[in-house]
Amino acid sequence: MSYKDKKVITIGIVSELTGLSERQIRYYEERKLILPDRTKGGTRKFSFLDVERLIDIANKMEDGMQTFEIRKMEKEEKKRTDRKTRDQMIRGQINAAFNIRK
């Protein structure tokens, strides 16, 4: 796991890093655009990737996109990425089965 994936940053620090209010960050969480981990005490913990994602979300919102549009766009991108990964795995299996080297 990369350091960017580790959820160790509190909402206050994320707010400082992104320039977003804590309320905005909680709103993006409510809209399922960001999914922080929670401690046993309920404190939100974010990763550096989450921070980058929040900045991207804020930029899209400034450009006039709605949260549902952002979510839809991300789902489509994930489908494309998943499809590409699956295709690469299948190609690898075929190459291995027939001993094809590139």
Q: What are the tokens at 49?
A: 């990737």
Based on the domain organization, do 21 and 43 belong to the same domain? yes
pTM of the model: 0.75
Question: Tens of pLDDT along 6-16?
Answer: 999 999 999 99
Based on the domain organization, do 52 and 77 belong to the same domain? no
56: confidence class by pLDDT, cuts 50, 70, 90: very high
What pLDDT shows up at residue 102? Answer: 62
57 CB-contact burial (10 Å; exposed 0-12 / middle 13-18 / buried 19+): buried
Q: How many domains does the chain have?
A: 2
* Mean of all residue pLDDT scores within the chain: 92
Q: What is the mean pLDDT of residues 11-27?
A: 97
Domain range spanning residue 89? Answer: 66-102
What pLDDT shows up at residue 59? Answer: 96
The answer to whether 57 touches 24, Cβ cutoff 8 Å, is: no
What pLDDT shows up at residue 28? Answer: 96
Residue 59 region by backbone torsions, left for phi larger than 0, else alpha for psi between -120 and 50, else beta? alpha
Based on the domain organization, do 42 and 71 belong to the same domain? no
Measure the CA–CA gap between 14 and 21, rounded to whole angstroms: 9
Based on the domain organization, do 17 and 57 belong to the same domain? yes
